[in-house]
Structure 1
């Protein structure tokens, strides 16, 4: 039996269905991300697991115990919110130890566990500071330490890195994964950031309009999407008569060679790569090329385009809006 299980979990707000028939089994120690656009139901799903939202229909079990209608305070879950929700009048150490104090953990034990949690997030030296004296990344680590210090069976993360700048966000993604692996804490994270979900998750749950579109390893979701929505939402894609071709699979060659002729319509510098929009007889295609010793293609320059046969993926016909997508064929 899986450690955390959602069976046919459904949530209605009046006549509006926010989540429909969510089925998910998470193993102990697994890191799973709920990925999807705004309004797809991922945060509502997390809140039902946390106990902040009532389940309309279905069942949630944790370690074999039915917690579907249990109060949030009795579930013992660790939660990190988007806003971090730190107490401004408390020091870092006091913020981290708050949950232990509410659980009436003896002072000596509490102090030891707080120090261990701060060491885990590399903040022992800042124990006596206040939140206003910390950077965004440091406040995020305090919130994470506070959630982990109670030794929760499950850690719930609600867009925990969305308030950080791009560089710090990328650094914290891998720091978060390091901490999770160190402790082996079962983790469920909500995010709309595809790179974040793909880079640190064991599995990704792609949601759309309250339904689950696909559940799988990040590589499988990216390389073999089960619907056109996923192909377009998870990374960039070129669709050729029902087939998917990722931009990085395209090979840009000298003009007159390759299977397809193209002209550079626009180009975008991404640091380590160039992203090209190419006019072709098949329509506009996107291609990624390494920023290496070769000279970048100029706008208006002709080129040849090719790709390995193994890079093509067949996709199903588009499902009706709001309908469940069928399996790939």
Structure 2
């Protein structure tokens, strides 16, 4: 049985449908991320689970109990907000202890649990400090300790790392995942950061226009996107218009290539999708198609090339392996393994 279950959960603001019939089952101890651009409904979905927003229709269950219309303070969930929402006049220890005080936890037990929570996030030495005396990463860990100390059945994270700089954000991603695995708390996180969701989640829920358009393991979401939107939102993709030919072949203009069978009928219009890092630059005349390097960009560990070809402009990512980069204006061939190409519907639409 699913530990947290959403069934046809829908939210209207007046006549505007912000969330449309979301179905999601989260297992106990699982880390699930709601991923999507601004306005896709991910935060509203989290707020309905938390009880901060009323559900227009549908059902939310927690461990077999219907909490659809339960008040937020009766659900017992742990929440970390984007702004952390720490009390500035309280010490770190007092901030962490606050939820236990509200639950009338005995003082001796409360002190021990606060110590354990601070040890979990490596802030034992900062118990007497105030939030203003902490770095962004430390404040984030205090907020996490405050949420975990009450031992919630579900931990809800609302863009918890968005206020951190890039380097600290990457470090905190893995620390957050390590803490979650150690504690084993069922966790649902909202984020618009693809790398964040892909790196630390057991499953990812990609949301678009209020709908959950794909729910899958991170690797499958990336390698087998279910739509044009997902292929370009989760990573980058080269999309070429094509048409299905006989024998699981795809016609791309005058070029006919193989692609993974996606159940399209012969003659169907499709989009041929291949990730930039799956393309290989070879000598002109030795690939499937030739092109000319229009621009190049140095990304540190990679070079990104914009290559003009008869099929259109393709983006190619090549590792920075010490070999000289190709100059702009250089003629090159482009190749790719057949199993790396994906086929997507050419005329997909998502209802609002």
Q: Distance in 2 between matches of 1:167 and 1:303?
A: 35
Q: Distance in 1 between matches of 2:291 and 2:90?
A: 61
Per-residue CA deviations over 1:53-78 (Å, capped at 9, x if unaligned) read 00000000000000000000000000
Q: What is the aligned partner in structure 1 of residue 279 from structure 2?
A: 250
Among 321, 324, 340, the alignment partner of 1:311 is: 340
Q: Do structure 1's residue 46 and structure 2's residue 46 form an aligned pair?
A: yes
Q: Tell which structure's C-alpha radius of gyration is larger.
A: 2
- Report deviation, 1:150: 0.4
Q: Which runs of 5+ in 1 are unaligned?
A: 324-329
Q: Distance in 1 between matches of 2:322 and 2:348?
A: 44
Number of residue equivalences: 323
Q: Distance in 1 between matches of 2:279 and 2:47?
A: 41
Instruction: For residue 284 of structure 2, give the secondary structure of its aligned residue in structure 1.
Output: coil
Among 278, 281, 300, the alignment partner of 2:329 is: 300
1:227/1:318 contact within 8 Å kept: no
Any residues of structure 2 matched to 1:166-177 within 5 Å, and which?
A: 166-177=166-177
Q: What is the aligned partner in structure 1 of residue 253 from structure 2?
A: none
Q: Which runs of 5+ in 2 are unaligned?
A: 243-270
Q: Please report the RMSD computed on the Cα atoms of aligned residues, expressed in angstroms.
A: 0.9
Q: Do structure 1's residue 85 and structure 2's residue 89 form an aligned pair?
A: no
Per-residue CA deviations over 1:294-321 (Å, capped at 9, x if unaligned) read 1112222221110000001111233235
- Report deviation, 1:268: 1.8
Q: What is the aligned partner in structure 2 of residue 64 from structure 1?
A: 64
Per-residue CA deviations over 1:100-126 (Å, capped at 9, x if unaligned) read 111111111111111111111111111
Q: Distance in 2 between matches of 1:25 and 1:38?
A: 23
Q: Distance in 2 between matches of 1:32 and 1:318?
A: 29
Q: Please, what TM-score do these two structures have when normalized by structure 2?
A: 0.90
- Report deviation, 1:216: 0.3
Moved over 6 A (4+): none
Instruction: For residue 287 of structure 2, give the secondary structure of its aligned residue in structure 1.
Output: coil
Q: What is the aligned partner in structure 2 of residue 100 from structure 1?
A: 100
Q: What is the aligned partner in structure 1 of residue 291 from structure 2?
A: 262
Instruction: For residue 315 of structure 1, give the secondary structure of its aligned residue in structure 2.
Output: strand
Per-residue CA deviations over 1:213-255 (Å, capped at 9, x if unaligned) read 1100001111111111111111000112211101110011122
Q: What is the aligned partner in structure 1 of residue 229 from structure 2?
A: 229
Instruction: For residue 47 of structure 2, give the secondary structure of its aligned residue in structure 1.
Output: helix
- Report deviation, 1:256: 2.6
Q: Distance in 2 between matches of 1:267 and 1:190?
A: 34
1:228/1:318 contact within 8 Å kept: no
